[in-house]
Structure 1
């Protein structure tokens, strides 16, 4: 039992180690992230330089500086992660070199010993004696094979030494390259740290300048909060209408389907009645023909009296009366086919409003559901809603950049971009709403997901338009500081409930 327990613990530790290793970013991932952060810092700096014409410090300047500080901090952390990875690689390479040196020395000692032995034993003379010392021909063959294997062994040992030497030299070259890379990263880390300190000082100056505009800034905060609440209420109402519209469409489709099924059933029943009536009429015609032919020959059916002497009983029915009455009685029981027929009597009832699912997802068409699945599958790989820019305000509840006692709730992310930048759809879909709420807003449906683009100066699409990824929706407008800022949101419908998700985790970074 103890052994089983130890094995289980060891297995869990091994699996955990593998999982942790799998979660660690690779060197290529770290390099890509470093380059992206450098581009983001460069874009932020460019935006700051464009707004430096206004000598007065603005809240947008503070957000840009704080975004740059955050990106710079992430960059330094990323560089430190790269350095840590390199240090681990350097240690591993050093161990490999040490092992290769030991292996090479062992191989060289073994080879030198064999050479010394061959020299001492005067190999050429002893080989002849060794061969002539064979007891018979087969023994001589075995000795020749032995000598051949011995020579092959010495040659293989020499080749091993050469390969080990080549591998060792390659490892030494890699180690030197890794050390140089580490030195370069350390220098970059030092440079970025100095930049960070300078940016912190600049940020403190802007904060100090803005403190003198407290009343103006607090009024702006209240105005922004009211605008955000109005936007949220409008978006929720739009999504509710989309849910109701999808349900209405599903009900209409279900009603049409039910009507078609009822009509098909009615036609099938009428066709069955028509065939039955034709069969009855045919049977009656045959019966009349048979009786008429018999009377013309003066014959009577077997077992029946002749027409001249046989009369049906009063109030009763004879054989002939029975034959002629039966088809009429059968026909009388059938309902006539035509416009006056009663549908309920024919078994076809008028369909009512069919029941549909209360779930928004279940009411989507297969085509729209495939679009929704495709959107979900591209999480983390969607293009940015602007060609260039940086995230100046993150998603969710956060402290105000100037007043720590005030919290702001961002339903999406604010992306600061250049003047006149185009807002682009991040994925194919349908424009479900275009409205003006303190600036134009465009809502694009992607099945269970909706993307919102607000703060536009103008729009180039209309409600109902089909759009593709990276298609222009409009032009990003400017805020009160004269900076172009797009508010980008992603909403998801689950059942009949809907909420926002973090857009930063959906776009490629």
Structure 2
């Protein structure tokens, strides 16, 4: 009985430890899969096409990104392998201890069987009962023989349970060793890939240093162009807000000062628009991405330039690279507020959701027109693919009235 309690306690402790390890290892396994998936996506979206003219600055940024993800993958593999080593060592100790216990249990059982065999004859059992001094003693002796038989049976079952448990531990140990061997192989492959990437990285850094002035001027020129585009969008949004407010007031026959309306930077919301804005807010962090698949290559807000220290770049929204031929998709239902045309002929579709506006910039063409009602996931337009870099990039911006918000806080995390 003591052995059974001990065995059950040992099993419980093992399962609890295994569960705790598994939970942590499961998280690491999911993280490893995520990084592997990200590397595949990077290769597909940033390195799949052969560029006609290689922009060393852009190429370096892409290489650095891939090296960073590979390093994260290797760190995750190392943590996972360390946990597996702890599990394997723990299992080996448990198996050694259980085998000793099983050996002792089998020896004890064999001795008991031998003694039982020597006194097994019906005659000796009958004599054992008949030699009782009274009926009560005979009854007790009969009960004893029954209990002895049950004990033998139970001990045999204990041996079987113990043997099965050891087999399961051995199977688990074998699987863990295979997983660890696979992880070591993956880590080795990733290190080889990083070495190859670093050679490309060094070559690109050398090219950039030779033309550093040229690249810095290019960055400043692009930043100036982006500021002009942002200012134009801000102006259009303010005009659209004023126009929408005038329309809302004319319908409500309000005597609000027209000058105040013209200078207003916030939408006057109808009950329907207010309800739509409330639903938009309730979906913060759960809104779908504006592309089927993509990688954010520039985040929202001010950030240091990835190559040149001291240069600050500003992201008005999210710059998302996606696959060639992809369409931009509406992240929420609303109405097309306006469609702007850029200097290079690319389009920017603005969709209003109450007092929120989503902007889908750098479209080759648009499938919608001003005033159209839009549903969640609806295709807005084909995203432009740069003929030189071969990158298909959407600039996705989010406003509340005239204030820019970080779209990453509103869409689902990938």
After TM superposition, the structure 1 stretch with the greater mean CA deviation from structure 2, 158-167 or 369-378, is 369-378
Q: Is the 8 A contact 2:269 2:355 kept in 1?
A: no
**CA displacement, residues 378-407 of structure 1 (integer Å, 9 cap, x when unaligned):** 26xx3x433344333334433323312212
1:458 to 345, 365, 368: 365
Residue 368 of structure 1 pairs with residue 276 of structure 2: yes
Q: Which residue does 1:443 correspond to in 2?
A: 350
Does the 8 Å contact 2:290/2:331 carry over to 1? yes
3-state secondary structure, aligned to 1:403 = coil
For residue 504 of structure 1, report the CA deviation from its aligned partner.
Answer: 7.7
Q: Tell me what 1:74 maps to.
A: 72
Contact 1:246-1:363 at 8 Å conserved across structures? no
Change (3 A) 1:398 1:123: farther
1:468 correspondence with 2:370: no
Query: Does 1:485 pair with 2:361?
Result: no
Give the whole-Å Cα distance in 1 for the aligned partners of 2:192 and 2:115: 66
Contact 2:119 2:125 (8 Å CA) reproduced = no
SS in 1 for 2:284: helix
The one of 42, 47, 50 equivalent to 1:52 is 50
Residues 474 and 113 of structure 1: is their aligned pair in 2 closer, same or farther, counting only changes over 3 Å?
same
**What is the CA distance between 1:155 and its match in structure 2?**
0.9
TM-score (norm 1): 0.63
CA distance in 1 between partners of 2:242 and 2:104 (Å): 81
- Determine the structure 1 residue equivalent to 2:318: 413
**Residue 132 in structure 1 maps to residue 148 in structure 2:** no
Change (3 A) 1:398 1:25: farther
Cα gap change, 1:239 to 1:175, in 2 (>3 Å) = farther
Per-residue deviation at 1:476?
Answer: 1.5
Equivalences, count: 383
User: Using a 3 Å threshold, how does the CA distance of structure 1 residues 469 and 213 change in structure 2: closer, same or farther?
Assistant: farther
Q: Measure, in 2, the Cα distance between the counterparts of 1:132 and 1:251.
A: 113
Partners of 2:277 and 2:63 lie apart in 1 by 42
- Tell me the distance in 2 between the aligned counterparts of 1:460 and 1:183: 52
Aligned partner of 2:59 in structure 1 is 61
Q: TM-score, normalised by structure 2?
A: 0.76
Aligned to 2:189: 191
Could you tell me whether the CA contact under 8 Å between 2:285 and 2:413 is conserved in 1? no
Give the corresponding residue for 1:401: 306
Match of 2:16 in 1: none
Over aligned residue pairs, what C-alpha RMSD do you find?
A: 3.9
Distance 2:268 2:127 in 1: 93
What's the offset of the Cα at 1:454? 1.6
Q: 1:432 to 1:103 in 2, by over 3 A?
A: farther
Secondary structure of the residue that 2:283 maps to in structure 1? helix
What is the alpha-carbon distance in structure 1 between the residues aligned to residue 317 and residue 23 of structure 2? 27
Selected match of 1:226 from 192, 204, 224: 224
**For the Cα contact (< 8 Å) 2:320–2:396, is it kept in 1?**
yes
Corresponding residue SS for 1:486: strand
CA distance in 2, matches of 1:422, 1:44: 19
Alpha-carbon distance in 1 for matches of 2:93, 2:100: 11
The secondary structure found in structure 1 opposite 2:52 is: coil
Distance 1:455 1:361 in 2: 29
Per the TM alignment, residue 202 of structure 1 is displaced from its structure 2 partner at its CA by 0.2
Residues in 1 aligned to 2:123 and 2:24: alpha-carbon distance in whole angstroms: 61
Q: 1:76 to 1:244 in 2, by over 3 A?
A: farther
Q: In structure 1, what is the Cα distance between the partners aligned to 2:235 and 2:90?
A: 60
Q: State which of 146, 149, 155 in structure 2 corresponds to 1:148.
A: 146
Relative to structure 1, is the Cα distance of residues 486 and 157 closer, same or farther in structure 2, using a 3 angstrom cutoff? Answer: same
Structure 1 or 2, whichever has the larger Rg, is 1
- Structure 2 CA distance for aligned equivalents of residues 173 and 196 of structure 1: 35
State the partner residue of 1:378. 286
Question: Alpha carbons of 1:29 and 1:443: their partners in 2 closer, same or farther (altered >3 Å)?
Answer: farther
- Aligned mate of 1:174, from 169, 172, 175: 172
8 Å contact kept, 2:60–2:205 = yes
1:453 CA drift (Å): 2.1
Distance in 2, matches of 1:244 and 1:205, equals 53
Please tell me whether the aligned partners of residues 317 and 407 of structure 2 are also in contact (alpha carbons under 8 angstroms). Answer: yes
Which residue of structure 1 lines up, in the alignment, with residue 295 of structure 2?
390
Instruction: Check the 8 A contact 2:77/2:187 in 1, yes or no.
Output: yes
Task: Find the aligned partners of 1:180 and 1:244 in 2 and give their Cα distance.
Answer: 67
CA distance 1:55–1:423, shift in 2 (3 Å): same
Equivalences for residues 151-162 of structure 1 within 5 A? 151-162=149-160
Moved more, 238-247 or 392-401: 238-247
Q: Is the 8 A contact 1:67 1:391 kept in 2?
A: no
